[in-house]
A = this chain, B = another copy of it.
Amino acid sequence: MALTPARTMPGVLELLPLDQVAFQRMLDTIRRNYERFGFLPVETPAIEYADVLLTKTGGETERQVYFVQSTGSLEQGEKPELALRFDLTVPLARYVAEHERDLSFPFRRYQMQRVYRGERAQRGRFREFYQCDIDVIGKDSLSIRYDAELPAVIYSVFRELAIGPFTIQLNNRKLMRGYFESLGVADAEQQMLVLREVDKLDKRGADYVRDTLTGEGFGLAPEAVEKILAFVQVRSTSLQDAFDRLDALGAGPEALEQGRAELKEVLGLIHALGVPETHYALNLSIARGLDYYTGTVYETTLNEHPQIGSICSGGRYENLAGQYTKSHLPGVGISIGLSRLYWQLREAGLVATAQSTVDVLVTQMDEAQLPAYLALAGELRAAGIATEAVLEAGKLGKQFKYADRAGIRFAVVLGEDELAKGVVTVKDLRRGDQFEVARAELVKTLRVELEQAAAMG
């Protein structure tokens, strides 16, 4: 039989086991923090009806959808009526609309699943990747205070992920809209076009942007352009500085006043929630492209790795599920694109391959003593210590090598001598030393060692 080459399509992040352990630990950390803040788990099917998924979208996203079709449907030449979700927000909207009567509002859900996008193959672009989302959905209304809670969650997650110092950056679409309005850029679409030009500041320089905005296409007054450039360069350095900079914008139209009041309340509550001032800041350049967001918007960046871009983004939206229900469902949410983040951290050398989840290897010295080895392994497992027992006979050196290669830290040896003396030899493959311990003390000793190892990271 001719062999089929074993391969996966480009754009998927398939990991070796110890990298998968590292990835899984990040997923677990995120989940633990989401739960700690009182968010409830939801999972939705990867396959949805295409008409349900694609009610709202058009353009870019629609071109990136993966359609799904069973063998039978394909054979009959039917048009696929199923598709894979491309994010977790549309499925959330569908879920909340479908189960509205069974949910308690404000509905706080977390969802950590894979999403699928028919992207062109390109380094660092994923076609199948994890998103880790939380959202709070109100019925009819949702207090602005929830906008302050999400940065507290972000802080808690990234502090525990321990991938270096980070800053949660905030803006408010109303503030932005109001400020642009006051400069004569009142049309929402034109505001977006202006912002798109402003986004080129870093790449093309201020002169280029200035020329474009005062040029034929836009025709803005030079003073207005200067004000816009100054506005989007606002970054606060402390809570008080954030308040001062907001006040310094001066009086403006209603939208600006509302946005300013919201930002001030949010900033104050973030402080009350215990997020240190070093970890959040006003950044008036953040717009989050989409038309979707209407108030607070967030991005989070690693201070020492700005090239990675935002590692956690989101914001406030006016109505989650208008395409499915007449209920008015405002919400606020954030998303961590974990596959991409993990990949970038690895590229930057910021995550290492993990130690194995297997704590201990029970070696096999003497085949005849196998029942004793199995009993020992059982004892360790009952104590919650992840244990592999060598079942195949082989040289001890080879067994140590296997443990070392597999990332298992401790190997336990129970030979004739040990059995006679009622002890066990524990070999620490990381430190490269070994010690004897009374058989009755083994569980306790290993627990202490493992706790120390865990505490030291």
Among B47, B69, B385, the residue within 8 A (CB) of A69 is: B69
A24 vs B69: C-alpha distance when bound (angstroms): 29
Which residue of chain B has its CB nearest to the CB of A97?
Answer: B6
A323 touches B1 (CB 8 A): yes
A116 touches B9 (CB 8 A): no
B272 touches A374 (CB 8 A): yes
A387 touches B94 (CB 8 A): no
Among B3, B64, B149, B375, the residue within 8 A (CB) of A326 is: B3
Which residue of chain B has its CB nearest to the CB of A359?
Answer: B38
Q: Which of A90-117 contact B (CB under 8 A)?
A: 93-95, 97-99, 102-104, 106, 108-109, 114, 116
Decide yes or no whether A185 CB sits under 8 A from chain B: no
Decide yes or no whether A434 CB sits under 8 A from chain B: no
B98 touches A36 (CB 8 A): no
In the complex, which range does the number of interface residues on chain A fall in?
35 or more
A324 touches B145 (CB 8 A): no
Q: Which of A110-151 contact B (CB under 8 A)?
A: 114, 116, 118, 127-128, 138, 142-143, 145-146, 149
A377 vs B273: C-alpha distance when bound (angstroms): 8
Query: How many of these chains are in the complex?
Result: 2
Residues of chain B within 8 A (CB-CB) of A99 are 16
Decide yes or no whether A416 CB sits under 8 A from chain B: no
Decide yes or no whether A321 CB sits under 8 A from chain B: yes
Given contacts A69-B80, A370-B272, A388-B37, contact A45 B3 (CB under 8 A): no
A12 vs B98: C-alpha distance when bound (angstroms): 14
Chain B nearest Cβ from A419, distance in angstroms: 16
Of A37, A42, A68, A375, most B-chain CB atoms within 10 Å: A68
A68 touches B71 (CB 8 A): no
Chain B nearest Cβ from A140, distance in angstroms: 11
A93 vs B8: C-alpha distance when bound (angstroms): 12
A106 touches B15 (CB 8 A): no
Residues of chain B within 8 A (CB-CB) of A12 are 45, 47
Residues of chain B within 8 A (CB-CB) of A16 are 99, 102-103
Given contacts A46-B114, A71-B64, contact A36 B384 (CB under 8 A): yes
Decide yes or no whether A249 CB sits under 8 A from chain B: no
Chain B nearest Cβ from A134, distance in angstroms: 12
A6 touches B325 (CB 8 A): yes
Decide yes or no whether A317 CB sits under 8 A from chain B: no
Among B66, B377, B387, the residue within 8 A (CB) of A68 is: B66
A52 touches B4 (CB 8 A): yes
Given contacts A70-B64, A143-B392, A387-B38, contact A3 B325 (CB under 8 A): yes
Decide yes or no whether A301 CB sits under 8 A from chain B: no
Decide yes or no whether A289 CB sits under 8 A from chain B: no
Of A47, A67, A381, A388, most B-chain CB atoms within 10 Å: A47
Given contacts A49-B7, A52-B7, A357-B35, contact A274 B387 (CB under 8 A): no
Which residue of chain B has its CB nearest to the CB of A62?
Answer: B71
4 interchain residue pairs of minimum CB distance: A38-B388, A70-B118, A6-B97, A145-B391
Other A-B contacts than A35-B357, A273-B378, 20 sampled, CB-CB below 8 A, are A1-B323, A4-B324, A5-B324, A8-B45, A8-B48, A8-B52, A16-B99, A17-B40, A35-B386, A37-B381, A62-B71, A63-B71, A65-B71, A66-B70, A104-B406, A106-B391, A108-B388, A145-B370, A149-B391, A274-B375
19 contacts between A and B (CB under 8 A): A4-B324, A7-B49, A8-B98, A9-B48, A9-B82, A15-B42, A17-B103, A18-B40, A20-B42, A21-B40, A21-B41, A36-B387, A37-B387, A38-B361, A46-B46, A67-B69, A145-B391, A269-B370, A272-B374
